Amino acid sequence: MSIKIALAGNPNSGKTTMFNDLTGSNQYVGNWPGVTVEKKEGKLKGHKDVIITDLPGIYSLSPYTPEEIVSRNYLINEKPDAIINIVDGTNIERNLYLTTQLTEMGIPVVIALNMIDIVRKKGDNIDIKKLSKKFGCDVIETSALKGTGSKEAVSKAIALAEQKVKTTPQHKFSSSVEDSLSKIASYIENSISPQLLRWYSIKLFERDQKVLEQLSLDENIRTEIENIIAECEKQLDDDSESIITNERYKYIVDAIKDCYVRKNTSRETVSDKIDKIVTNRLLAFPIFAAVIFLVYFISVTTVGTWATDWVNDVLFGQIIPPAVEGFLESVNCAGWLSSLIIDGIIGGVGAVLGFLPQMMVLFLCLSILEDCGYMARIAFIMDRVFRKFGLSGKSFIPIIIGTGCGVPGVMASRTIESEEDRKLTIMTTTFIPCSAKLPIISLIAGAFFPGSIWVAPSVYFIGIAAIICSGIILKKTKALSSSPAPFVMELPAYHLPGIKNVAFQIWDKSKSFIKKAGTIIFLASGLVWFLSNFNWQLQMVDAQDSILATLGGIVAPIFVPLGWGTWEASVATLTGLVAKENVVGTFGVLYGFHEVAEDGVEIWGSLQASFTALSAYSLLIFNLLCAPCFAAIGAIRREMKSAKWTFIAIGYQTILAYAASFCVYQLGMLFMGNGFNVFTAIAILVVIGFIYLLLRRPYNKDAKNSSTKKVGKAMLGGAKL
């Protein structure tokens, strides 16, 4: 019989790092039954019968978001054999709030006191024996980033699970609260297991709606319980939920006084000093812009390009195609099959895989920023901007995740409490360039802007501008008008990135990209080859006379005002709906990528013959902002839970992309001295209309006024900003 161990903790406490350390490659990802929240499970390395479940990061078992509900339901209904509670030792007071709730559930709990290396580096000392006694469970010092203590924590959890030792909460509340809880317990003790009796009593005292619905209490009993709560509220002059919160923190503060000795009594850490600069109201945005510029400069212009050039010119130019072609000739392979393999499969898949080095460098940079703690600061910094434009600060978290892939970015929107803010975030998250769009950026930048250092960063900031402008416009509509949700977030202490953890993240993201290239792009490249080499009578013909040229010719006129109304560009854009990397793969097949790789410049020459620099940039903008790939569209459908809202989201994205690309090309032509025409006039009208939508009065004036107030708070090194 397998042992189930749950990892529970606050966001940024090191929970996922510990999960990766414990499970290695023995992981499998799916969705929780009935919901779209991601479920990560894995087998403990060396133990086939021990299942580790990485629960979504939560601050409390009083749920407000789908992720918090999932974590609580799992602990209550699935009843894991043990819980490892990851506690950030550098922010122990906040993290122990969840601990007080976990110990009330009657499940064996082991506290993994994480980031202990940072605690010691600061000269602080935590007495784990006293801490263990205060909270009634074993405490193991860990540093998940360095891989120390994790095995000891899971070994202790396994031992407790096998012995079926239940954790007994040691914290007590004030007499009036305890008296109220005892009275409530007397009403439900016959229908609740003894080990969960206190937990349910507290939740009823807090008027937890989920628990009230679950228990289905008699109306008379609910009235009696409400009277008990109201009497206690009157005595303590506060609402019940705040009473419990205050009682928990009072116990935690008293416990910490006996267990935690700080060397720096002022409590200003190195992270605090750094944050005075990187989160400064004047310096934060220039620093953020410089960091993003540097990331893309390294990834697209320098190191990433050097590696990509080698893969394209040498690996897929001088090594693989000639070798495969020689082998096929030696076995007398049919001409059409040889063309399929070399022009179709190697041309299409190779065109995409050629950009893998750039993507790996990008993943490296982003993983370092995330692992050292700067990504959390970016979310905090952008909250100031987003809140002014009606968006929740939490909206930036899905956007940051979306730089890797739009699918998890869309799914991350579930952490936003407001339904309107969640829909708005889902509609705009995919505007940010994901890793699948990087090959398109690299191709256009290399072919039309060689040596330029502004193209890739400009695309990133266009994505952010599209999100902000969409927030302003859509927030003023009747369906999406609301006050932004408060933003509360833990900012972890700065630390050196762990080599093992960064390497794992790079491999995990790269593996997904390679898998897509070996499946979706492989099939798409083969289909593009077939359609571009055969006519409707299934005879091999030149590409200009093919099925694909016919279909592309039907669509192409739509894109003429955008500057790239060729059938090749139209087809490449449409195949990008399957996977954005297909845009490059399709060009590779249509322009004969295997020949290009021999000297590394022919695909650029083919593109330059079909596009100008302005029309190529217009193409880039459209593919950046238009409807995402099918996988992301599926994620939007699951998160929206509505076909209507899915079509609204896709329609808005496509219309915005077309309008932006149209205006860039037509106004660009005007500024370049190509005269004034009807399209120029339309572009000016579109810009005027866009400005009107930005400046017009919101649907609800009160919603506008409340949305501009700064109601969010962030915890920075234990101090409120």
Residues belonging to the binding site for GTP are: 9-16, 34-38, 54-57, 114-117
CB of 212 closer than 8 Å to CB of 204: yes
The binding site for Mg(2+) comprises 20, 23-24
Q: Which pairing describes strands 50-54 and 38-43: parallel, antiparallel, or unpaired?
A: antiparallel
The binding site comprises 9-16, 20, 23-24, 34-38, 54-57, 114-117
CA distance linking residue 57 with residue 67, whole number of Å = 8
CB of 593 closer than 8 Å to CB of 572: no
Beta bridge partners of 701: none
Q: Which residues of 11-30 are buried (b: 16+ CB within 10 A; e: fewer)?
A: bbbbbbbbbbbbbeebbeee
Sign of the four-CA dihedral 168, 170, 173, 174: positive
Residue 704: CB atoms within 10 A of its CB come to 16
DSSP letters spanning 642-698: -HHHHHHHHHHHHHHHHHHHHHHHHHHHHHTT----HHHHHHHHHHHHHHHHHHSPP
Query: Nearest 5°: phi and psi at 471?
Result: -60, -45
DSSP class of residue 534 equals: B
Question: Which tokens is 210 given?
Answer: 């989920």
CA distance linking residue 330 with residue 719, whole number of Å = 72
Question: Which tokens is 697 given?
Answer: 């009065």
Query: Nearest 5°: phi and psi at 531?
Result: -65, -25
CB of 435 closer than 8 Å to CB of 404: yes
Residues shown for the chain: 721
Closest CA to 403 of 367, 435, 449: 435
CA distance linking residue 477 with residue 696, whole number of Å = 11
Closest CA to 614 of 663, 567, 686: 663
DSSP class of residue 106 equals: T
For residue 581, give the amino acid letter. Answer: E
Angle (CA) 209 212 216, round 5°: 145
Q: Give the residue ranges of DSSP H helices in 45-127.
A: 66-73, 92-102, 116-121
CA distance linking residue 639 with residue 652, whole number of Å = 17
For residue 459, give the amino acid letter. Answer: V
DSSP letters spanning 168-184: -------HHHHHHHHHH
- Residue 159: burial class (beta carbons within 10 Å; 0-12, 13-18, 19+): middle
Cα 155 to Cα 21, 44, 105, 112, distances in angstroms: 14, 10, 21, 12
Residue 651: CB atoms within 10 A of its CB come to 12
Question: Which tokens is 203 given?
Answer: 């939740």
Torsion angle, alpha carbons of 384, 386, 392, 394, to 10: -80
Closest CA to 75 of 107, 99, 52: 107
CA distance linking residue 346 with residue 589, whole number of Å = 9
* CA-derived radius of gyration, the chain: 29
H/E stretch holding 4 reads: strand 3-9
Residues 6+ positions from 580 with CB-CB distance below 8 Å: 434, 436, 437, 439, 440, 623, 628, 629
DSSP class of residue 390 equals: T
